[in-house]
């Protein structure tokens, strides 16, 4: 009987260490995720699987122009370490949480200090039209004439399928702390 108790403890210890390591890696280093929706087409398809580098967030790195990032779209609230831990897929599965719809995959178009302007079906950054060969189609005029200066500590993001993307045009600029990671 004591042999079985020893084996069970050994297995429990191994499973506990594996769980803890996977939690750390998924929260601070790398995390696989799935693209939900068509807002990044043609670059990323609906239900595509991507790997995001979370160490960029952990180290406080700011994304570059054109980087594809995963953001937490709930910009009206401040994120905490508890949010990072509760976003762990196993915890969401146990809680039956459907919060994955708040995480959006978008492209970085503007950074702090940039003036983003949408006119003539194109995006301009600091007065210069962006060359965006990755776009699915020409942008409709619904956001025509929109101009915004990106404040310090924020980014401006847009989907590649501009006519079917909920992005900074709808929610505004995104705090750097809401960047979950960068697509590898």
pLDDT tens track for 9-32 = 889 999 989 988 887 887 788 888
For residue 13, how many other CB atoms are within 10 A of its CB? 10
Q: Is 106 a catalytic residue?
A: yes
- Active-site choice (26, 39, 165, 168): 39
Enumerate the domain spans of the chain.
2-183
- Active-site choice (26, 54, 73, 106): 106
- Residue 156: pLDDT band (50, 70, 90) is very high
What is the C-alpha to C-alpha distance for residues 3 and 171, in angstroms, rounded to an integer? Answer: 59
Q: pLDDT tens, 40-81?
A: 999 999 999 999 998 877 677 889 999 999 998 888 888 877
Over 70: is that where the pLDDT of 96 sits?
no
4 token code pair: 């079985």
Residue 104: strand pairing partners: 71
Mean pLDDT calculated for residue range 78-101: 66
Over 90: is that where the pLDDT of 1 sits?
no
**Architecture of the domain spanning 2-183:** Ribbon (2.10)
- Name residue, tokens 């180290």: 59
What is the C-alpha to C-alpha distance for residues 118 and 60, in angstroms, rounded to an integer? Answer: 29
Q: Is 58 a catalytic residue?
A: no
- Residue 160: pLDDT band (50, 70, 90) is very high
- Backbone phi and psi for residue 107, each to the nearest 5 degrees, phi listed first: -105, 140
SS3 call for 91: helix
């Amino acid at each position: 009987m004591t042999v079985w108790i020893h084996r069970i403890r050994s297995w429990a210890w191994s499973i506990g260490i594996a769980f803890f390591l996977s939690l750390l890696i998924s929260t601070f280093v790398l995390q696989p995720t799935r693209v939900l929706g068509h807002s990044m087409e043609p670059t990323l398809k609906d239900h595509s699987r991507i790997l995001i580098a979370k160490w960029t967030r952990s180290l406080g790195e700011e994304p570059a122009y054109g980087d594809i990032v995963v953001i937490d779209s709930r910009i009206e609230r401040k994120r905490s370490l508890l949010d990072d831990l509760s976003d762990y897929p196993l915890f969401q599965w146990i809680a039956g949480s459907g919060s994955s719809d708040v995480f959006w995959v978008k492209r970085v178009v503007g950074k702090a200090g940039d003036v983003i302007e949408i006119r003539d079906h194109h995006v301009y950054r600091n007065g210069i039209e962006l060359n965006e060969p990755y776009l699915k189609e020409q942008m409709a005029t619904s956001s025509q004439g929109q101009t915004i200066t990106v404040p310090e500590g924020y980014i401006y993001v847009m989907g590649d399928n501009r006519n079917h993307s909920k992005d900074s045009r709808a929610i505004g600029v995104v705090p750097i702390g809401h960047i979950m990671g960068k697509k590898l």
